[in-house]
Structure 1
């Protein structure tokens, strides 16, 4: 004996096959399937791109930007070792590093260019070392008065390795002539974006000469396990410290980047869910016309003992067949488009001769993609739910068909 659900599925397939012979109904049905497929495909690919930018933000950009930072209100920290020790005692803190940050001007002839100078402890490995040659990093560790500039900044100033670089640093709260120090350019780093135009790295001793102090550091920066817990870590560690200092974290200084990504993700969800909703309306139209066309068949099936609930299931299954086909095509297409998107963008750049993501402006030079299977499942479930909701009214309308009136229809 055939079960209720298999019987409803078989009748739904038969109705759908006959529907495909009708040109107009077939066109509307194909439109709904294509709309769901396109909506699902674009939503999966879009979410993969947003995931890619978020991953690059977390793993690349935030590896260079201080995740948590404690900065002296004036001058240098009184006891940076105490700050480091108490910071490392927190379970979320991976590393704590002393830093000296200052603003300077690079003088090249009559030209002056602003630069952010960071004095770093060269006995500790840092993320910036991944973006410079090992020889440059080794030289910075060994050379007392050397500097490493961003690649684009060195190019703008027409400087090369071994050239002399003059830095001017103004003393805080003073109108006297700025402190002038001459350094040797040891090499360059290439991170991408504005960092390459604005940053310079020196060792801590050189940085102390720049700001005119004999010892100490201006800041201690922390690397944390969970970057989204940065604000909590800053507050918890800050309450344990005795120094009068500023508490800062990346969500305050760079959080707008993350919020922008989340905003674009939300807008993408809303727009493409509306696209899926419009495609689902075609399912409603198709089923309503199918119900009108199959009135006599429904009446005959009812006289043969088919219950109203079975009629309801028939048209739910018929509508879901359109939706499921579109979802399968959209999921496969979305996965393929996500994986092929970086190469596709390169091909478009080759054809147009234009760079979509310029490396001297953005910290990425190609579209980042991170395909996550939970996004594919989520998009598919949303499409299934919307397809199922679109079938409810036509299926209910079919189940309410009056048997005698339906049979009398010609």
Structure 2
């Protein structure tokens, strides 16, 4: 333990020696600054990626069914079987009935396509969190619907007004059905959902689709999002109905894959950027070895072995890395915490939004710091700092004592 303490003290003396040249001090400071900057940037970047992943899981996928069993034609013949199998499956959190159809909304001379989703207002549904309880209760009344805010603004309708929907016949070449529905409210979820979707009760959806009874789909919410394909297969292969098996990874999985791909690229870039920063540590130590040749010779004559000399220069490089990692981690945590506020100020100053609410399902940059990412960044930076010390330390151990003292 005393050997490492001595190596640490000598390294600190070499690092802070007053006789160091300004150029060497600049190279040493730049290596420390490069490590700190790399740690700060990547902690912030990974926190933003974590934030997008959390929003995707906790918000966007609340409206997108994790697993869906949809009738091939008409209504499901045995929906109770699906509910029973879902209740028995350990990965299924809840199951809800749904009726989906496409319609045209007629407002004056304009026709706008809309996805109409029939839900049970008495059951818990994610969209209920984006409307008032009074509006959600009014959906239980016949011939009522809730419009997305973007769609309502485009059509110029408000609560209490009527909309005429045109729905194509499910079978044959019958004339499209026209039905007038009352708008009881609007939901503001964000993104394209607000411009494309409307919600009605199951009874109203049956009138639109011409179903006498039953439902067209069963939607499952899972405890583990990434078990969607397995759950769909486990339950689907036990059904007697011909159904379409669908899950969120098939329709929206590219969002999650893009986030994970960006994370992997950031880890790769992290290693490359920190490796470049650590090259300055190599340069610093090599120049220190040349500058301290006489000191090294004196230490060798005083009994310091070559292995001890290696420890001194390894400790000096680690000290540079520790300072850079410490400041970088603290700066990264501070920047991650303040990033949403800084970006909000930037949007106010520029008058433009970084994430348009009519395109994306969020209008701000989410941030979620995880201790795992901070530890990984810090450990990678320290390991690269350690590796950068090996060659200069080996060079220092090869210096001849007589030549070093006489130089």
Q: Please report the TM-score for the alignment, with normalisation by the length of structure 2.
A: 0.98
Alignment match, 1:32: 31
CA–CA separation in structure 1 for the residues paired with 2:199 and 2:371? 40
CA–CA separation in structure 1 for the residues paired with 2:395 and 2:249? 53
Alignment match, 2:9: 10
Q: Identify the range of structure 1 (46-55 vs 70-79) with the bigger mean alpha-carbon deviation.
A: 70-79
- The alpha-carbon deviation at position 175 of structure 1 amounts to 3.6
CA–CA separation in structure 2 for the residues paired with 1:174 and 1:150? 31
Q: Deviations over 1:146-167 (max 9, x none)?
A: 0100011001100001111111
Alignment match, 2:286: 288
- Look up the SS of the partner of 1:330 in the other structure: helix
Q: Deviations over 1:98-129 (max 9, x none)?
A: 11011111110110111110001112111100
Alignment match, 1:139: 138
- The alpha-carbon deviation at position 265 of structure 1 amounts to 1.3
Matches for 1:243-392 after TM superposition, within 5 Å: 243-392=241-390
Alignment match, 1:394: 392
Matches for 1:153-164 after TM superposition, within 5 Å: 153-164=151-162
- The alpha-carbon deviation at position 243 of structure 1 amounts to 1.1
- The alpha-carbon deviation at position 408 of structure 1 amounts to 2.0
- Look up the SS of the partner of 2:17 in the other structure: helix
The yes-or-no answer on 1:105 pairing with 2:97 is no
- The alpha-carbon deviation at position 19 of structure 1 amounts to 6.4
- The alpha-carbon deviation at position 174 of structure 1 amounts to 3.5
Q: Deviations over 1:231-256 (max 9, x none)?
A: 11111111222111111110011001
CA–CA separation in structure 2 for the residues paired with 1:271 and 1:12? 30
CA–CA separation in structure 2 for the residues paired with 1:167 and 1:392? 74
Q: Deviations over 1:316-348 (max 9, x none)?
A: 110111111010000000000000000000011
CA–CA separation in structure 1 for the residues paired with 2:76 and 2:403? 90
Q: Identify the range of structure 1 (271-280 vs 118-127) with the bigger mean alpha-carbon deviation.
A: 271-280
Query: Structure 1, unaligned stretches of length 5 or more?
Result: none
Alignment match, 2:183: 185
Contact 1:19 1:290 in 2 (8 A): no
CA–CA separation in structure 1 for the residues paired with 2:156 and 2:87? 42
CA–CA separation in structure 2 for the residues paired with 1:176 and 1:295? 96
Query: Structure 2, unaligned stretches of length 5 or more?
Result: none
Q: Please report the TM-score for the alignment, with normalisation by the length of structure 1.
A: 0.97
Alignment match, 1:219: 217
Evaluate the alpha carbon distance shift between residue 21 and residue 407 of structure 1 in structure 2; reply closer, same or farther with a 3 A threshold. closer
Equivalenced residue count is 407
Contact 1:19 1:26 in 2 (8 A): no
Evaluate the alpha carbon distance shift between residue 223 and residue 20 of structure 1 in structure 2; reply closer, same or farther with a 3 A threshold. farther
- The alpha-carbon deviation at position 285 of structure 1 amounts to 0.4
Alignment match, 1:166: 164
CA–CA separation in structure 1 for the residues paired with 2:300 and 2:238? 78
- Look up the SS of the partner of 1:77 in the other structure: coil
- The alpha-carbon deviation at position 312 of structure 1 amounts to 0.5
CA–CA separation in structure 1 for the residues paired with 2:102 and 2:389? 64
- The alpha-carbon deviation at position 20 of structure 1 amounts to 7.5
- The alpha-carbon deviation at position 208 of structure 1 amounts to 0.7
Contact 1:76 1:217 in 2 (8 A): yes
CA–CA separation in structure 2 for the residues paired with 1:20 and 1:264? 46
RMSD of the alignment, in Å?
1.2
CA–CA separation in structure 2 for the residues paired with 1:110 and 1:233? 45
Contact 1:39 1:273 in 2 (8 A): no
Q: Identify the range of structure 1 (196-205 vs 368-377) with the bigger mean alpha-carbon deviation.
A: 368-377
